[in-house]
Structure 1
Amino acid sequence: MDKTQEFQGFGCTGGNLSPQLSWSGAPEETKAFAILAYDPDAPTGSGWWHWQVVNIPAETTSLPAGAGDPSKDLMPQGSVQLSNDYGSKGFGGACPPIGHGVHRYQFTVHALSQELELPENASAALTGYMINAYSIASSTIEATYQRD
Structure 2
Amino acid sequence: MNIYVEANPYLHDKYSKYAEEKWKREGNPFVSFPIRFEDIPPGAKTLALTFIDHDAIPVCGFSWIHWVAANIPAHIGELPEHASEERQDLMVQGQNSFASPLAGSINPKVIHQYCGPTPPDEDHTYTLTVYALDTELNLQTGFYMNQLYKKMKGHILAERSIKLIARV
TM-score tier, shorter chain, comes to: 0.7 to 0.9
Asked whether 1:47 is paired with 2:47, we answer no
**Number of residue equivalences:** 139
1:26-72 deviations in whole A, cap 9, x for unaligned?
11110111111111111333301111110111211101111122xx2
Asked whether 1:80 is paired with 2:58, we answer no
Mapped to 2, the partners of 1:35 and 1:92 lie a distance apart of 14
Among 83, 89, 96, the alignment partner of 1:67 is 83
In structure 1, what is the equivalent of residue 5 of structure 2?
Answer: none
Among 74, 99, 112, the alignment partner of 2:133 is 112
How many Å apart are 1:81 and its aligned residue?
A: 1.3
What secondary structure sits across from 2:55 in the alignment? coil
After TM superposition, list the pairs within 5 Å mapping 1:1-148 onto structure 2. 1-6=11-16, 8=24, 12=27, 15-43=29-57, 44-69=60-85, 72=86, 74-75=87-88, 77=89, 79-87=91-99, 88-97=111-120, 100-147=121-168
- Structure 1 stretches lacking a partner, 5+ long: none
Give the TM-score taking structure 1 as reference length. Answer: 0.81
How many Å apart are 1:128 and its aligned residue?
A: 2.8
What secondary structure sits across from 1:19 in the alignment? coil
How many Å apart are 1:78 and its aligned residue?
A: 5.2
1:86-118 deviations in whole A, cap 9, x for unaligned?
131110100122xx2221111111100111112
Mapped to 2, the partners of 1:2 and 1:56 lie a distance apart of 23
What CA RMSD, in Å, does the superposition of the two structures yield over aligned residues? 2.1
- Structure 2 stretches lacking a partner, 5+ long: 1-10, 18-23, 100-110
Change (3 A) 1:118 1:102: same
Runs of 4+ in 1 over 3 A off after TM superposition: 7-10
What secondary structure sits across from 2:127 in the alignment? strand
What secondary structure sits across from 1:23 in the alignment? strand
Mapped to 2, the partners of 1:89 and 1:142 lie a distance apart of 22
Mapped to 2, the partners of 1:21 and 1:85 lie a distance apart of 21
Mapped to 2, the partners of 1:120 and 1:126 lie a distance apart of 12
CA contact (8 A) 1:4 1:16 kept: no
What secondary structure sits across from 2:98 in the alignment? coil
